[in-house]
Amino acid sequence: MSDLGTVKDDFVFIYYGDENIFTSEFPNAQITLHTNSASVNINGDDAVRIISADGTVVDQFGNEEDGTGEPWEYKDGYAVRNAGTTPSGTFVVSDWTIVNGGLDGQGLCNGGTAFGEIVPTMSYVNGDNTPTCNEPSNLTSSNITSDSATINWASNNSSETFELILTEENVDPNTDDTITVNNATTYTFTNLEENTTYVVYVRSICEGQLVSEWDNITFITEESVVVDPGEDDTCADNAEVIGIENFDNSNWTNNIESLLFIDPTSEDQGLFIVENSGNNPNFSGNILYARDLKGEGDEPSLDPFVFTFNEIDVSNYTNVLFSFDYFVKSNDDAKVILIIDGQESEHVWFNDANIAGKFTQEIGEATTFDFRIEGSMNGASDTFELDNIQLCGVELVETPICDEPTDLTVSNITTSEATISWTTIEGPNGYQLIVVDENEDPSNGTITNIDVVSYTINNLDDNTTYDVYVRSICGNDSFSAWVKTTFTTDEMIEAPTTCNEPTGIVLNRLSDTTSTFVADDKDAVYQGTANRVEHKKIRPYPLYGMTNMHIPHIQTALVPDFAHNVWLRIKCDEDLYSDWVGPYVLPTYQEDQKAVIYPNPAIGNTIKVNGISGERVEVYNMSGNRLMNLPIVNGEINLQNLTTGKYHLRIIDIDGKVYEKALIKK
Q: For 111-137, what is each residue's pLDDT tens digit?
A: 888 887 888 766 555 544 456 788 898
CB 434 within 8 A of CB 469: yes
Neighbours of 633 (CB within 10 A): 11
Report whether pLDDT(455) > 90: yes
Q: How confident is the model at residue 224, as a pLDDT?
A: 64
Provide the residue type at 161 as one letter. T
CB 15 within 8 A of CB 29: no
261 CB burial (10 A radius; 0-12, 13-18, 19+): middle
CB 404 within 8 A of CB 471: yes
Q: Which residues contact 111 (CB under 8 A, 6 or more apart)?
A: none
Enter the pTM of the model: 0.30
Q: For 554-581, what is each residue's pLDDT tens digit?
A: 777 777 766 677 888 888 888 888 888 8
Report whether pLDDT(398) > 70: no
Distance (Å, rounded) from C-alpha 83 to C-alpha 7?
A: 19
User: In this predicted structure, which of 227-236, 321-330, 411-420 has the lowest mean pLDDT?
Assistant: 227-236
Q: How confident is the model at residue 175, as a pLDDT?
A: 76
Q: Tell me, which fold does domain 240-395 have in CATH?
A: Jelly Rolls (2.60.120)
Q: How confident is the model at residue 249, as a pLDDT?
A: 38
Neighbours of 181 (CB within 10 A): 18
DSSP secondary structure of 243-280:
S-SS-SGGGEEES-TT--B--TT--S-S--B-SS-SS-
Q: What is the dihedral of CA 45, 50, 55, 58, to 10 degrees?
A: -110
468 pLDDT band (50/70/90 cuts)? very high
Stated as kind and residue range, the H or E segment containing 117 is helix 115-118
Distance (Å, rounded) from C-alpha 513 to C-alpha 2?
A: 153
588 CB burial (10 A radius; 0-12, 13-18, 19+): buried
> Which H, E and C letters describe 444-485, residue by residue?
HCCCEEECCCEEEECCCCCCCEEEEEEEEEEECCEECCCEEE
Report whether pLDDT(553) > 70: yes
Q: What is the mean pLDDT of the chain?
A: 75
Q: How confident is the model at residue 162, as a pLDDT?
A: 92
CB 74 within 8 A of CB 100: yes
> Which H, E and C letters describe 322-389, residue by residue?
EEEEEEEECCCCEEEEEEECCEEEEEEEECCCEEEEEEEEEEECCCEEEEEEEEEECCCCEEEEEEEE
Residue environment code for 203-224, b if the CB has 16+ CB neighbours within 10 A, otherwise e: bbbbeeebbbebbebebebbee
CATH number listed for the domain at residues 406-483 = 2.60.40.10
Ordered by start, the domain boundaries in the chain are: 13-117, 137-221, 240-395, 406-483, 506-586, 591-665
Q: Which of 152, 192, 185 is nearest to 169 (CA)?
A: 192
Report whether pLDDT(172) > 90: no
Q: Which CATH architecture has domain 506-586?
A: Sandwich (2.60)
Mean per-residue pLDDT, 187-191: 92
Q: For 205-254, what is each residue's pLDDT tens digit?
A: 887 667 888 899 999 988 765 444 344 445 655 556 665 443 333 334 43
Distance (Å, rounded) from C-alpha 317 to C-alpha 177?
A: 65
User: 406-483 and 591-665: same fold?
Assistant: yes
Secondary structure class of 114 (helix, strand, coil): coil
Q: What percent of the chain has pLDDT over 90?
A: 13
Q: How confident is the model at residue 458, as a pLDDT?
A: 92
Q: How confident is the model at residue 230, as a pLDDT?
A: 40
CB 483 within 8 A of CB 404: yes
Q: Which residues contact 575 (CB under 8 A, 6 or more apart)?
A: none
Report whether pLDDT(437) > 90: yes
Q: Which range scores top for mean pLDDT: 116-130, 273-287, 473-487?
A: 473-487
Report whether pLDDT(457) > 90: yes
CB 272 within 8 A of CB 291: yes
Q: Which CATH architecture has domain 137-221?
A: Sandwich (2.60)
Task: Determine the distance from the C-alpha atom of residue 191 to the mean position of all C-alpha atoms in its chain, rounded to a whole number.
Answer: 26
Q: Which of 486, 471, 470 is nearest to 410 (CA)?
A: 486
Q: How confident is the model at residue 146, as a pLDDT?
A: 80
CB 277 within 8 A of CB 289: yes
Q: For 37-65, what is each residue's pLDDT tens digit?
A: 665 666 666 778 888 777 677 788 888 77
Report whether pLDDT(92) > 80: yes
Q: For 95-111, what is each residue's pLDDT tens digit?
A: 888 887 778 888 888 88
476 CB burial (10 A radius; 0-12, 13-18, 19+): exposed
Q: What is the dihedral of CA 262, 264, 269, 272, to 10 degrees?
A: 70
Q: How confident is the model at residue 534, as a pLDDT?
A: 57
Q: Tell me, which fold does domain 591-665 have in CATH?
A: Immunoglobulin-like (2.60.40)
The pairs formed by 601-605 with CB atoms below 8 angstroms and a separation of 24 or more are 601/663, 601/664, 601/665, 601/666, 602/639, 602/663, 602/664, 602/665, 602/666, 603/666, 605/638, 605/639, 605/640
Give phi and psi for 401, each to the nearest 5: -120, 5
DSSP secondary structure of 490-547:
PPP-PPPS--PPP-S-EEEE-SSS-EEEE-S-TTSEEEEEEEEEETTT--B---EEEE
Q: What is the dihedral of CA 447, 448, 452, 458, to 10 degrees?
A: -120
Distance (Å, rounded) from C-alpha 545 to C-alpha 530?
A: 6
